[in-house]
Amino acid sequence: MRNIKPIISSLLRSKSGPVLLLTQIVLSVAIVANASFIISERLALIDRPSGIAEAQVLSFRVYNFDPAMDLRKQNQQDQLILRDLPGVIAATSTNMVPLSGSGWGDRYVDGPDPETAKSLPGFSFYMGNEHMLNTFGVKLVEGRNFYPEEIKMGPAAKSQTALITKSIAEAHWGDESPLGKVVYQQDIAITIVGVIERLQGAWVDSSNFEYSVIQAVDFGGAMSSTTYLVRAKPQDIAQLKLDIPKALHLENPNRVIDEFYTVAEHRGHSYSNHELMAALLSVMIVLLLLITSLGLTGMVMFNIQRRTKQIGTRRALGARKADIVWYFLTENYVICAAGAVIGVVAASQLGQQLMNHYSLPQLAWQYPAVTVLGLFVVTTLAVILPARRAADIPPSLATRSV
């Protein structure tokens, strides 16, 4: 502790280098803490389980061009063909594909009177038949699946059934079971018959990403193009990409079948921006710490050259090598401590601005704390090697006159 006062006096006599280094440390703490927090947030988003057997679910589109084709009848026939293919576990038509970035959204109300009814959270709106649960591979935690006779051939039927995710049920009804509840989609009465543990929607950045509904409607055949989902073992997916067009063209050649992607591939594409941001921020953190370390190393080496005679004198007066090393380490810790205090304040202010302008969560205190700790470790490694070089200077060489 007795060395701190002369160290501070020495730093104040030559202010430019320490001030530049202090500024660098402040910026490093502020930026690294917030960048680490953003990376953590992005990785948490990417790691969210979808509830779907992603690698097993293959989506594709069928474009029909025959004006005489009965689209609904053809849809039913195509689904039977798909389910009969070798390796297929389940197949269904759908109006949207999970994690694809394109889909449908809707909102129910819990009563027929718009004046008194309360709205449920907005959700991703899937339309599918009794095969959709097995095709997705999602888990039913309460209630039952659709009965085949409940499936409507169009969304306009006045009485329908639906499966909802557990997240919607808890958000609107709390611990109360939603089974048997009747909700309304405009003038359509919909009875909830089952609860799904987890099923994510199409938009990974949506605040309602975990809220999804499957309504008992076979949407295939409603338009000239139809989206299908097929579930199979991952090792069978490549062969099915070849077998599906052959089988469906054999039934009716007047159509185009393409856009084959697994849900896992959709996931990779949807999260690509998050992964890129995490990678870029990681590189930025490494560069900032490297620049800070190089700055400290350079300052110590400059001080060694400038203080060669002083170091030699101290060694001649009995200072141990460890004393010389500790001197430079203490100088580093003084600068780092001052930079850490200012940097934590700057990190907090920067986090507040990011929260206000980009809707990020509040910066957790652990990130500045860990950043400061990491910076002390990194700068110690940066200083200790040149400090040991200084400690090896022979007193006779350091004190002789030129």
Query: Distance (Å, rounded) from C-alpha 249 to C-alpha 243?
Result: 10
pLDDT at 396 over 80: no
Give pLDDT, residue 382. 78
Structure tokens at 200: 């994510």
Q: Please give the structure tokens belonging to residue 167.
A: 């997240």
Mean pLDDT, range 349-361, rounded to an integer: 77
Say whether pLDDT at 8 is over 70: no
Q: pLDDT tens digits, residue range 22-47?
A: 888 888 888 888 999 999 989 999 99
Burial 236-259 (b: 16+ CB within 10 A, else e): bbeebbebbbebbeeeeeebebee
Mean pLDDT of 238-245: 96
pLDDT at 11 over 60: no
3-state secondary structure the chain: CCCHHHHHHHHHHCCHHHHHHHHHHHHHHHHHHHHHHHHHHHHHHHCCCCCCCHHHEEEEEEEECCCCCCHHHHHHHHHHHHHHCCCEEEEEEECCCCCCCCCCEECCECCCCCCCCCECCCEEEEEECCCHHHHHCCCEEEECCCCHHHCECCCCCCEEEEEEEHHHHHHHHCCCCCCCCEEEECCEEEEEEEEECCCCCCCCCCCCCCCEEEEEECCCCCCCEEEEEEEECHHHHHHHHHHHHHHHHHHCCCEEEEEEEEHHHHHHHHCHHHHHHHHHHHHHHHHHHHHHHHHHHHHHHHHHHHCHHHHHHHHHCCCCHHHHHHHHHHHHHHHHHHHHHHHHHHHHHHHHHHHHHHCCCCCCCHHHHHHHHHHHHHHHHHHHHHHHHHHCCCHHHHHCCC
pLDDT digits (tens, 9 = 90+) for 50-99: 999 999 999 999 998 888 889 999 999 999 999 999 999 999 999 999 99
- Bigger pLDDT: 319 or 169? 169
C-alpha span between 237 and 287 (Å, rounded): 42
- For 256-315, the pLDDT digits (tens) are 999 999 999 999 999 999 999 999 999 998 988 888 778 777 777 776 666 666 666 666
Across 362-366, average pLDDT: 84
pLDDT of 402 over the 50 cut: no
Spell out the residues 6+ positions from residue 248 whose beta carbon is closer than 8 angstroms to its own.
62, 78, 81, 82, 255, 257
Enumerate the domain spans of the chain: 4-47+272-399, 66-253
Q: What is the mean pLDDT of the chain?
A: 87
pLDDT of residue 317: 63
Is it the case that residue 360 has pLDDT exceeding 80?
A: no
pLDDT at 162: 97
Residue 378: pLDDT band (50, 70, 90) is: confident
